[in-house]
């Protein structure tokens, strides 16, 4: 296949594959390391949840909630050895104890059987200085589902104090590569947002690229390569059944899939007519429609949340920049002018911003405000790629270059809070699921 499509920069198919080919073995799960929080984080204490004797499993709900809130960078959970008491209910709280350790809010809870084979997780958020509960909640959990319940608790707390939905029940997809005796093995992995519960949904000796989530979080579209035939194919895989549907394996480029907001169409880059352009594929009638018609390279489409527009990367101005076109086709409007190049655009869930990769002295993640046209660089580089918004739009996941491989990282949309998701070997092509509440 022609490589003209990706001749612009470090974020190209060929260099990406070269890095994947030199990767070392990858472990099963990512490890999250907080690298930068925000000053003035909210002090909070998550008291170990009381539990009835009949509750099985070893999930420590408070520990999971602690980690979720701390990773957000907006909260500063109190260490357990600093707690003067561990109440299991509001009536057991001694407010003077918590004031003495300068904690503003305390969360207390209990896990008990629900009588239907699952569990009831009840908890209160307590304002220490008001001396009362400011929110009481109850969450149902299936047997074996206490970790998910803990993420749901964290979501409630996050929303209580920030006014934004939490993202702790969301998932991520990424590509990991292990170097085995007979060569590299590529795995398309789906995991919890924090790297737990990784599951390999596709495995191949050939490269896998560009995973994209269905709006319902039930399917993934991605690109698979057949190097012997010199061809790529665009596929959809059902995460529940494992069923795989091939959407396009036309001659030339079949790449960069992106779901429409209603999940009925895919935007993609095809070059079977000679030039790389943006097309849409209707999953109902299986018809392909050409959206852009230009002698330049048009690629990396992303739908606006209302489905009215598609942003994409094009070098029609000489270097790669971000353009916008109506999803039915028409004239394209250039959106980016700052920086030597801008590419790999993706809308925020509210449609007010676009995250992209800005080139210049290296490549860094940047956020473009569509109302003010202000551009904010939020990562350090020098070789960052593949940004994707969390479902609440507050955090971005991306891949950062480390030697001959890459690791995943997250950064808040304002650039103030950063985490690393570490794993030996090469991990890249991240995509954040659209659901997580």
Q: How would you write the pLDDT of the chain (437 residues) with one tens digit per residue?
A: 333 333 343 233 333 333 333 333 334 578 777 677 666 789 999 999 999 888 887 899 999 999 999 999 999 999 999 999 999 999 999 999 999 999 999 999 999 998 888 899 999 999 999 999 999 999 999 988 999 999 999 999 999 999 999 999 999 999 998 887 778 899 999 999 999 999 999 999 999 999 999 999 999 999 999 877 778 999 999 999 999 999 999 999 999 999 999 999 999 999 999 999 999 999 999 999 999 999 999 999 999 999 999 999 999 999 999 999 999 999 999 999 999 999 999 999 999 999 999 999 899 999 999 999 999 999 998 999 999 999 999 999 999 987 777 899 999 999 999 999 877 778 999 999 997 76
80 phi and psi, to 5 degrees?
A: -65, -35
Q: To the nearest 10°, report the CA torsion of 150, 152, 157, 160.
A: -170
CB atoms within 10 A of CB 116: 10
**Which string of b and e fits 271-285 if b means at least 16 CB within 10 Å?**
bbeebbbbbbbebee
Of the candidates 13, 99, 15, 7, the one whose C-alpha atom is nearest the C-alpha of residue 401 is: 15
Identify the pLDDT of residue 283: 95
**Helix (H), strand (E), coil (C) string for 171-231:** EEEEEEEEEECCEEEEEEEEEECCCCCCEEEEEECCCEEEEEECCCCCEEEEEEEECCCCE
Find how far residue 82's CA is from the centre of its chain. Answer: 34
State residue 356's pLDDT score. Answer: 98
Instruction: Tell me whether domains 4-28+169-432 and 40-162 share a fold.
Output: no
Residue whose token pair is 């698979």: 224
Rounded to the nearest 5°, which phi and psi values hold at 62? -60, -35
Give the SS3 label for residue 344: strand
Into which CATH architecture does domain 4-28+169-432 fall? 6 Propeller (2.120)
Evaluate if pTM is beyond 0.95: no
Domain locations along the chain: 4-28+169-432, 40-162
Topology given in CATH for the domain delimited by 40-162: Rossmann fold (3.40.50)
Q: Rounded to whole angstroms, what are the CA distances from 415 to 298, 355, 397?
A: 29, 12, 12
In degrees and rounded to multiples of 5, residue 16 shows phi and psi of: -60, -45
Contacts with 55 (C-beta within 8 Å, 6 or more apart), sequence order: 111, 112, 113, 119
Furthest-apart CA atoms within the chain: distance in Å: 74
Contact 257, 237 (CB under 8 A): no
CA 408 to CA 64: how far, in whole Å? 21
The pLDDT assigned to 146 comes to 94
377-to-10, 172, 213, 332, 363 alpha-carbon distances in Å? 18, 23, 25, 25, 10
Report yes or no: 367 and 21 within 8 Å, Cβ to Cβ.
Answer: no
């Amino acid at each position: 296949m022609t490589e003209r499509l990706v001749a612009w920069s470090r974020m190209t198919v060929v260099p990406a594959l070269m890095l994947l080919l030199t990767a070392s073995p990858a472990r099963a799960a990512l490890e999250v390391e907080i690298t930068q929080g925000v000053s003035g984080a909210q002090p909070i204490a998550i008291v170990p949840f009381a539990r009835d004797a009949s509750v099985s499993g070893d999930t420590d709900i408070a520990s999971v909630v602690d980690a979720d809130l701390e990773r957000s960078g907006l909260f500063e959970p109190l260490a357990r050895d600093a707690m003067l008491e561990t109440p299991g209910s509001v009536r057991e709280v001694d407010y003077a104890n918590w004031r003495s350790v300068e904690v503003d809010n305390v969360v207390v809870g209990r896990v008990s059987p629900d009588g239907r084979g699952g569990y009831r997780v009840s908890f209160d958020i307590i304002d220490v200085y008001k001396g009362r509960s400011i929110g009481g909640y109850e969450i149902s959990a299936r047997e074996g589902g206490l970790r998910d319940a803990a993420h749901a608790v964290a979501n409630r707390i996050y929303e209580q104090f920030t006014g934004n939905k939490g993202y702790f029940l969301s998932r991520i997809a990424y590509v990991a590569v292990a170097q085995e005796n007979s060569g590299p093995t590529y795995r398309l992995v789906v995991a919890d947002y924090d790297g737990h519960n990784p599951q390999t949904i596709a495995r191949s000796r050939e490269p896998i690229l560009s995973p994209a989530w269905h709006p319902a979080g039930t399917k993934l579209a991605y690109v698979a390569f057949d190097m012997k035939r010199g061809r790529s194919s665009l596929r959809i895989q059902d995460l529940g059944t494992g069923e795989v549907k091939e959407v396009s394996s036309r001659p030339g480029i079949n790449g960069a899939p992106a779901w429409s907001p209603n999940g009925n169409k895919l935007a993609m880059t095809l070059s079977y007519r000679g030039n790389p352009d943006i097309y849409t594929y209707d999953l109902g009638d299986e018809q392909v429609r050409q959206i852009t018609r230009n002698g330049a390279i048009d690629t990396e489409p992303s739908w606006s949340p209302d489905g009215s527009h598609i942003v994409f990367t094009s070098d029609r101005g000489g270097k790669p920049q971000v353009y916008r076109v109506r999803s039915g086709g028409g004239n394209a409007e250039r959106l980016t002018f700052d920086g030597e190049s801008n590419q790999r655009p993706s809308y925020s869930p509210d449609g007010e911003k676009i995250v992209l990769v800005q080139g210049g002295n290296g490549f860094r993640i940047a956020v473009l405000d569509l109302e003010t046209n202000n551009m904010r660089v939020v990562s350090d580089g020098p070789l960052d790629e593949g940004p994707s918004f969390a479902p609440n739009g507050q955090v971005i996941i991306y891949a950062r270059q480390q030697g001959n491989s890459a690791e995943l990282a997250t950064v808040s949309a304002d650039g103030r809070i950063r985490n690393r998701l570490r794993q030996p070997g090469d991990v890249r092509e991240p995509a954040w699921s659209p659901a997580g509440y």
